[in-house]
Amino acid sequence: MSNEELQDRIAASSGWIGAVKTEMGRVLVGQELLVDRLIVGILCNGHVLLEGVPGLAKTLAVKALSGSLAASFARFQFTPDLLPADLLGTMVYNPQEASFAPKLGPIFNNLILADEINRAPAKVQSALLEAMQERQVTLGDKTYKLPEPFLVLATQNPIDQEGTYQLPEAQLDRFLLKVSVGYPSKAEELTVLDRMANSEPVYQTQAAATPEQVAASRLLVNEIYIDPAVREYIVELIRATRQPAKVDGSLRHLIRAGASPRGTINLALTARAHAFINGRSFVTPQDVKDMAHDVLRHRILLSYEAEAEDTTTDQILDRILSKVPVP
């Protein structure tokens, strides 16, 4: 497929993105970055973790996205007493037939909203690992495939909030993106006040895209060209998180462990999706830089020295991005 043909197919196939953004904009004010990252997750078939203090429309954004796509949806409110069977299902004994039969849980849906995921204990977090990575669930001695597409869109409050649990590193690595949700601007907050400060605010969205449209777009995302120089730039960024002193001596003792090869793969994949959203058939270094924080902020383990100095992962990534030469 020539570059011109791919460009035309991208333009024809990406129309649903604008329709979904418009529909989400009916209930969501601002948060353009959040909406873009949710769509990147959909295009890459990857799970997304949203982190921010309560009241920043994290849950509303995910519900608005699910309403904009003609796909099945389930919402879990994670609590300390939640059990794995509440999500996955269980085996139920049938006395008439003297046998066990599976009762599949609500996780067998296309889009899963795991609300306040860090309020559930470790046993529940571990139960999600197989579903998130293998897209299957094992009940008894049988394995059941999850529907396609299957995405976990999770929200969490900062760890220092009361009643939260630290997510396991293995589970964090399963999330394609970790998006930090910030406060709205003054103008956006005034719009929120005008739109939502009444007894009947708008929370529902209408379907603006189908799973078939999303699947067709995913195939095109895989075709987007990455120049060898950009590929090398991606690898150099990842290697800089493992050997930070080679790019900046002041980072020598701030990183305990860098990103894994899964981070390399996901950075390239999300850069392709970012190019697709912007209507391009090729990846630029700016696509990589735009996605770097969301792909890598949960894949870098800070040292005790960094935590003592109140240095954040985003600050370290800023310094790495400023030091690694751009092709």
Number of domains in the chain: 2
On whether both 80 and 180 belong to a single domain, the answer is: yes
Backbone angle region of 182, left / alpha / beta, with phi > 0 → left and psi within -120 to 50 → alpha = beta
Does the pLDDT value for residue 149 go beyond 60? yes
SS3 state of residue 253? coil
Mean pLDDT for the chain? 84
Residue 242, in any domain of the structure: yes
Spatial separation of the C-alpha atoms in residues 305 and 327, rounded to whole Å: 32
Give, in degrees to the nearest 5, the angle at Cα 86 between 82 and 92.
Answer: 140
| pLDDT in the model for residue 23 | 86
SS3 state of residue 213? helix
Structural domain for 133, as ranges: 30-193
Per residue in 248-262, pLDDT tens? 777 878 888 888 899
On whether both 94 and 136 belong to a single domain, the answer is: yes
Residue 9, in any domain of the structure: no
**CATH number, position 173:** 3.40.50.300
Does the pLDDT value for residue 101 go beyond 80? no
On whether both 228 and 157 belong to a single domain, the answer is: no
On whether both 40 and 172 belong to a single domain, the answer is: yes
Nearest in space to 296 (alpha carbons), one of 183, 130, 175: 175
Tell the residue number behind the tokens 């333009």, with chain if given. 11
Asked if residue 45 lies in contact with residue 149, where contact means CB atoms within 8 angstroms, the answer is: yes
Residue 296, in any domain of the structure: yes
Residue 105, in any domain of the structure: yes
Spatial separation of the C-alpha atoms in residues 69 and 48, rounded to whole Å: 16
On whether both 73 and 163 belong to a single domain, the answer is: yes
